[in-house]
A and B are shown apart, each in its own frame.
Chain A
């Protein structure tokens, strides 16, 4: 196995404004993201030879992408894999480029969630016996928080404080992201005193549900050189799918094996041995504050049970040792499910190029994205690494 490292390059990216986009539909969102990516890469839509489309609930086929961009009868695959949808679409596209099948490929992620009239996620399931508890994502992840506090003997107030500090950090980063859904600071007190959504998680412990699209143009490093000097290289692509947690009495609810395995696969491919030291930034799946806390441990940033100490020390802030969710994360940039993974790649790409504006890091040569889709006990997890060219 030769792996994906340094075999695929990103030469252009685009990201729509995320948020409650009452004014546009999913086709508009795709046009917004795609034409920014085309301009960034210096290509036209007719140069695209194949496309992958990630979306969870907006549509079922590749046709809407062809229709929106008037692509010329090219192959388009539509892909869905929970919250890792966009990164998995990106991953599949990378393999087609690395295999030498196509030179210029478009990856698009899009989601139009706000037309449901419902504040949470309204995703239809296949017909079934419908006996599973009506537990939306906040209730599912809150169970991990309850257990985490219990497992590590963390008093409730202390646990809530730690989670609040994660939300405060991501809100702060979001103020520097013009395309983010939410762009305002919040205080620890505001987070702690907010209405409960699913105890012990309050309103500010939950990410935004948003409309948005993000796009990437990928090619081989050889071709990339003819487009730009500051292309970004794919260093690793890990994907782990598990669905066994609830079948096991010995699964502890305080670690997500899918995150552990996907990150290990990615690190191995990318040649990363000490992520906390080697990574310059990480964009992780902070659907809820507790998720980000557990991710710190699953991805090897913090020792087990010690993530709270790193949060208190500011390790993951913009100025910290390993900045996490520099653009505000799902919490503030928003979470149009099928677009989120590419939005994360967009941030790593911009940081590596030194184009991240007010939130630009001093050093950004190696970063990862992490998506976690499903619920505790049953996840699709993707971890992808990106680096500057040598």
Chain B
């Protein structure tokens, strides 16, 4: 049976909330750091999903978002390389609509059902931006959801899919718009959400011979917490059937939202339960899964709950506004404008920079990063085996705090990290509270955007304080 074999999620470490000066809202939302975007969060969710799994068995990658960093150039290709997937896989970006997450999930399920792939990784990730201090900004959140869709070893098998396509301008953003735009809320609610979701759900139940009462949990999209409750009740679900919207903790994560709620439901589910994910955007997708007995045997991931519990509050709104280029600050350091990175070098160094391969010497076993033609310890030439360091834990050997580096993140923490099992990297640390930085602190590697120059989004790995509790 086609279904979900594994899931993973990602929520950035930072939050805007009651203790954030200038936020002026009691509720909390997740915010991507300045060096995170839909691609980096997708990699993090993918890593969470693939923990301990053979990455060679993934036959396809579908990336869904409304906020791709590139208008032309595939993001799935970046994510596939960072996740160290095979070269002979199918990859696709699904974009432009809040429904992109379930669009991508359907494509993945269909290709596995059709037999063109055995396992497809589907990742939805979003970091949408509303105008400063407006409703969209207040209700949004940043995050990602990943599913390994498979023919075998499923923890939840596909029960059915039903879609509505409806051309409606309730939310939109043109390429040159920095912020999401919306039409009048009453129009969007009545002619959009209520009518379309009602139509999609009744269509689903009719097609699959089921009813609202059969559903254990519904992971329902809604643009804010107030309307989430109203909608769910209006659609005929009881309070215990409604998966917590996570408004007040996470926020609307766009294309990833209903899928992140589905993951939260899977984290608590018992075998044999029907779970629905309901997305919204120019129509709606309803997807139903029936959990299998294997759900109790699934190796743990951080998931939505694990990452929600790992957080740092932002002290002030200006910090966040600076991250989003809404608040432009003067760079007192006046560093020279960086030149464009070389596309040839980025391509050539994919294994070391994006897959984060080190090398283990076949003769003496010394692990070194980046990989060397000539071994640093025994001088053996061209006798080494690549080893992936991106999912290896490490510890800080030494560090410094740079106050003049001209970065968004002052002071910039530069660390030398020793990987478990050997290998050392000099890199930046991000997502840190200054007081937790110390020699010997445990860290993990996180895929981040270093900078954008010449329209090139230059990605690499940074160290972060260990978040995994697994």
Contact = CB atoms under 8 A, between A and B. Distances in A.
B400 A118 contact: no
Nearest to A201: B400
Given A253-B398, A253-B416, A136 B404 contact: yes
A388 B458 CA distance: 56
Interface in A105-146: 116-120, 122, 124, 127-136, 138-140, 142-146
B439 A132 contact: no
A303 interface: no
Given A122-B336, A196-B411, A127 B403 contact: no
Interface stretch (B166-174, B384-392, B423-431): B423-431
Contacts of B348: 129
Contacts of A134: 335, 405-407, 412, 428
Interface in B283-305: none
Contact of B405 (A127, A136, A249): A136
A199 interface: yes
A146 B334 contact: no
Interface of A, helix, strand, loop or mixed by DSSP: loop
Contact of A146 (B333, B369, B398): B398
Given A119-B333, A135-B414, A139-B412, A198 B341 contact: no
Contacts of A133: 412, 414, 426-428
B332 to A, nearest CB: 9
Interface in B367-411: 367-369, 372, 376-377, 397-407, 411
B460 interface: yes
B450 to A, nearest CB: 6
Nearest to A150: B439
B242 to A, nearest CB: 45
Contact of B338 (A130, A147, A249): A130
B353 interface: yes
Contacts of B377: 248
Contacts of B341: 127-130
B424 A138 contact: no
Given A128-B345, A132-B426, A118 B376 contact: no
A74 interface: no
Interface string B409-451: 0011010101000111111100000000001000000000011
A147 B397 contact: yes
A63 to B, nearest CB: 25
Q: For this complex, into which size category does the number of interface residues on chain A fall?
A: 35 or more
A229 B339 CA distance: 53
Interface string B11-25: 000000000000000
A197 B402 CA distance: 6
A368 B400 CA distance: 31
B342 interface: yes
B349 interface: yes
B414 to A, nearest CB: 5
Contacts of B406: 134
B424 A249 contact: yes
Nearest to B349: A129
Given A198-B401, A247-B372, A117 B334 contact: yes
B116 interface: no
B450 A130 contact: yes
Contacts of A116: 336
B439 A198 contact: no
B210 interface: no
Nearest to A148: B398
Contacts of B206: none
Contacts of A117: 334
A349 B406 CA distance: 41
Contacts of A120: 333, 335, 404
B458 A143 contact: no
Contacts of A135: 400, 402, 405, 412, 414, 426
A195 B402 CA distance: 11
B312 interface: no
A124 B404 CA distance: 18
Given A122-B336, A129-B353, A131-B458, A147 B398 contact: yes
B357 to A, nearest CB: 13
Given A127-B341, A130-B338, A146-B398, 11 more contacts: A119-B334, A128-B345, A130-B342, A130-B458, A131-B349, A133-B427, A134-B428, A135-B414, A142-B402, A146-B400, A197-B402
3 A-B pairs with the lowest CB-CB distances in the bound complex, closest first: A142-B400, A199-B401, A147-B398
Interface of B: 333-336, 338-342, 345-346, 348-349, 353, 367-369, 372, 376-377, 397-407, 411-412, 414, 416, 418, 422-428, 439, 450-451, 453, 458, 460
20 contacts: A118-B333, A119-B404, A120-B333, A127-B341, A129-B342, A129-B458, A130-B341, A131-B460, A132-B426, A133-B414, A133-B426, A133-B428, A134-B428, A135-B426, A139-B400, A139-B401, A147-B397, A147-B398, A198-B400, A199-B403
